[in-house]
Amino acid sequence: MVAIVTGAGSRAPGVGNGRAAAILFAREGARVLLVDSVAEWADQTLGMIADEHGEASVVEADVTRAQDCQRIVDEAVRRYGRIDILHNNVGIGGNGSVVDIDLEAWDQIMQVNVKSMMLMARHVIPVMAANGGGAITNVSSISSIRPRGLTPYTTSKGAVNALTIAMAVDHAAQGIRVNAILPGPVYTPGVASAGMTPEQRATRARSSLLGTEGTAWDVGWAAVYLASPEARWVTGQLLCVDGGVSLTSAARSVGDEPRR
Ligand SMILES: NC(=O)c1ccc[n+]([C@@H]2O[C@H](COP(=O)([O-])OP(=O)(O)OC[C@H]3O[C@@H](n4cnc5c(N)ncnc54)[C@H](O)[C@@H]3O)[C@@H](O)[C@H]2O)c1
């Protein structure tokens, strides 16, 4: 199995969603292409995989650029000969309402969170199809179905959900399954680096039915399942990995920090 993970680094020490998925794919025996716009952050993931005797390598690329996406796919084929799994993990946050959002920030969020997933899929699908199929997983967010003060982010992740089901329909006949993971508020380096008080963190944990905080590993295990042969009859699904946050009333999370 060969997997491409976008955003396979983490912007601060620790384990983010892309890093966790990459490490778990490698533990399951996949050869993993680690893509990040900051090579140093992907190199750290590479070191963690190498420490466990897994197989991986890094491509520094910006997945908002079509030519970079083509280069990623070319490198995957050159290094490993095939592509079985595309884990579209790159995403950035975006606060505010339509009244106060900065217009350039709006465009950037759509580019990074939506266009990048379309571009990666566009270049990967012909290779997957030529091998008889594969699995694509897009990392969305429960913000897509449960908005709270992050309208640009919510809109972008709503588009990711729509892209996921549209791609599942378009490419099923090629043997390609397409699903999305909707993580709840997991505590990743990306979230930590944006700053969060212990009280905010505790409120965030309490906002889930289970009353505990999620981690990137929780999201990573969902990625392993969706990409595995055990999920061979699962496509077009939007899987919440959120400790039940999406089943609580909106009022319960008022005061929760408005970050992803
Ligand atoms: N952390 C959460 O609570 C949470 C909740 C729901 C969804 N998510 C989603 O999970 C995904 C990962 O989140 P995270 O918090 O682990 O992220 P993170 O910020 O820690 O890591 C993302 C990585 O993506 C890379 N990256 C960013 N833009 C890129 C680009 N254009 N090209 C290539 N690489 C790029 C960064 O350099 C970074 O290494 C995102 O899609 C995010 O929206 C996170």
Which atom of ligand 1 is closest in space to residue 17's alpha carbon? Answer: 16
Series of mean pLDDT values for 10-residue runs along the chain (260 residues) = 98 94 98 98 98 98 98 98 98 95 97 98 98 98 95 98 99 98 91 85 89 96 98 98 89 48
Q: Phi and psi at residue 130, in whole multiples of 5°?
A: -65, -25
The finding on whether 191 has its CB within 6 A of some atom of ligand 1 is yes
User: How remote is the CA of residue 60 from the centroid of ligand 1, in Å?
Assistant: 15
The finding on whether 258 has its CB within 6 A of some atom of ligand 1 is no
Q: What is the three-state SS of the chain?
A: CEEEEECCCCCCCCCCHHHHHHHHHHHCCCEEEEEECCHHHHHHHHHHHHHCCCEEEEEECCCCCHHHHHHHHHHHHHHHCCCCEEEECCCCCCCECCCCCCHHHHHHHHHHHHHHHHHHHHHHHHHHHHCCCEEEEEECCHHHCCCCCEHHHHHHHHHHHHHHHHHHHHHHHHCEEEEEEEECCECCHHHHHCCCCHHHHHHHHHCCCCCCCECHHHHHHHHHHHHCHHHCCCCCCEEEECCCHHHCCHHHHCCCCCCC
pTM above 0.75, yes or no: yes
Distances, alpha carbon 162 to alpha carbons 33, 66, 224, 253, in Å: 26, 21, 22, 25
pLDDT number for residue 249: 75
User: How remote is the CA of residue 173 from the centroid of ligand 1, in Å?
Assistant: 30
Which residue matches tokens 């999305």? Answer: 180
pLDDT number for residue 175: 98
Q: Which positions are annotated as active-site residues?
A: 153
Pocket test for ligand 1, best of 4, 11, 196 (most atoms within 8 A of CB): 11
Q: Which domains does the chain have, with CATH numbers?
A: 2-253 (3.40.50.720)
Pocket test for ligand 1, best of 5, 17, 64 (most atoms within 8 A of CB): 17
